[in-house]
Amino acid sequence: MEPFELPAGELRLRPWQDDDGPAVWAALQDPAIRLWNGAGSTSPEDVAALLARRADWSAGGHASFAVTDAAGGALLGSISLHSIDPVQGDAEIGYWTVPADRGRGVAVRSVVAVCGWAFPALALDRIELLHAVGNPASGRVAARAGFTCEGRLRRSYRYGDGVKHDELLWSRLSDDPAPVAG
Ligand SMILES: CC(C)(COP(=O)(O)OP(=O)(O)OC[C@H]1O[C@@H](n2cnc3c(N)ncnc32)[C@H](O)[C@@H]1OP(=O)(O)O)[C@@H](O)C(=O)NCCC(=O)NCCS
């Protein structure tokens, strides 16, 4: 799969670039992103390696985008469709938004845009979304992006605090109704 740009109204989802490093490093200083998206990148060099992996879609396992302001180009967030399994026709989606731009629909619109592309383009039937029970904001994103909560997984993932948290599992199927407002 070749990286490409996905327009989403006022947002532009584009492939990651080397020069995103400083903005991503700044975002990763946010305690909520470190907690819920993992604390794996502990230096600018780690971030550079992460961005190189996210910019390389060649193995077909993920499609990862920088979420930017279409007008000004500022980095607003990250979204990644990963664990793409063409045999099963499923994948998982993950995201973060920079603290200053939260609460204005950046994550919801990004999830809706990626799902809208991925279901037909990758012939997916199911996209999963998981978040810790202690992270209700991510649950609001899931609900508003048309996902259905299927249940609670017990101590299923070790987050950035080193603790295994219970998670809620959500999914959106290819024939689920599109969300009313993206
Ligand atoms: C979760 C996160 C991605 C949401 O990004 P965002 O761009 O602000 O999301 P949106 O503006 O599209 O939607 C936010 C929704 O969360 C709700 N919300 C925000 N903080 C909340 C909280 N503490 N408790 C409950 N809901 C909350 C908002 O009210 C909104 O829902 P609404 O429109 O129904 O009112 C962002 O808070 C973030 O990056 N958090 C840290 C990293 C993270 O949690 N990543 C996801 C890991 S699964």
- The string of pLDDT tens digits covering residues 34-91 is 999 976 778 999 999 999 999 999 999 999 999 999 999 999 999 999 999 999 999 9
Average of pLDDT values for 113-142?
Answer: 98
Element (H, E) at 14: strand 11-14
Q: What is the share, in percent, of the chain residues with pLDDT greater than 90? A: 93
Quick one: pLDDT at residue 178?
Answer: 83
Quick one: pLDDT at residue 181?
Answer: 59
**CA-to-CA distance for 178 and 56, rounded, in angstroms?**
29
Using the predicted structure, report yes or no on whether residue 110 has a pLDDT greater than 50.
yes
Q: How far is ligand 1, taken at its centre, from the CA of residue 138, in Å?
A: 5
Angle of CA points 80, 85, 90, to nearest 5°: 75
Average of pLDDT values for 131-142?
Answer: 98
Q: How far is ligand 1, taken at its centre, from the CA of residue 120, in Å?
A: 27
For residue 111, which atom of ligand 1 is closest to its CA? Answer: 12
Average of pLDDT values for 141-152?
Answer: 98
Neighbours of 93 (CB within 10 A): 25
Using the predicted structure, report yes or no on whether residue 148 has a pLDDT greater than 60.
yes
Instruction: Tell me if 110 sits within 8 A of 129, measured CB to CB.
Output: no
Task: Return the best residue to mutate from 10, 96, 144, 180 for the ligand 1 pocket (most ligand atoms within 8 A of CB).
Answer: 96
| The overall pTM is greater than 0.95 | yes
Q: What is the pLDDT of the chain when averaged over all its residues?
A: 96
**CA-to-CA distance for 50 and 64, rounded, in angstroms?**
11
34 Cβ closer than 6 Å to some ligand 1 atom: no
Do you know the residue count of the chain? Answer: 182
Neighbours of 116 (CB within 10 A): 15
Using the predicted structure, report yes or no on whether residue 33 has a pLDDT greater than 60.
yes
Using the predicted structure, report yes or no on whether residue 182 has a pLDDT greater than 70.
no
Quick one: pLDDT at residue 92?
Answer: 98
37 Cβ closer than 6 Å to some ligand 1 atom: yes
Q: How far is ligand 1, taken at its centre, from the CA of residue 106, in Å?
A: 9
Using the predicted structure, report yes or no on whether residue 97 has a pLDDT greater than 50.
yes
**CA-to-CA distance for 159 and 173, rounded, in angstroms?**
26
**What domains lie within the chain, and their CATH numbers?**
6-124 (3.40.630.30)
Quick one: pLDDT at residue 83?
Answer: 98
**Token duo for residue 55:** 């910019």
**CA-to-CA distance for 98 and 14, rounded, in angstroms?**
16
125 band by pLDDT with thresholds 50, 70 and 90: very high
Quick one: pLDDT at residue 62?
Answer: 98
Tell me how many helices (H) and strands (E) the chain has: 5, 8
For residue 110, which atom of ligand 1 is closest to its CA? Answer: 12
Instruction: Tell me if 65 sits within 8 A of 79, measured CB to CB.
Output: yes
Point out which residues pair with 93 in neighbouring strands.
Answer: 81
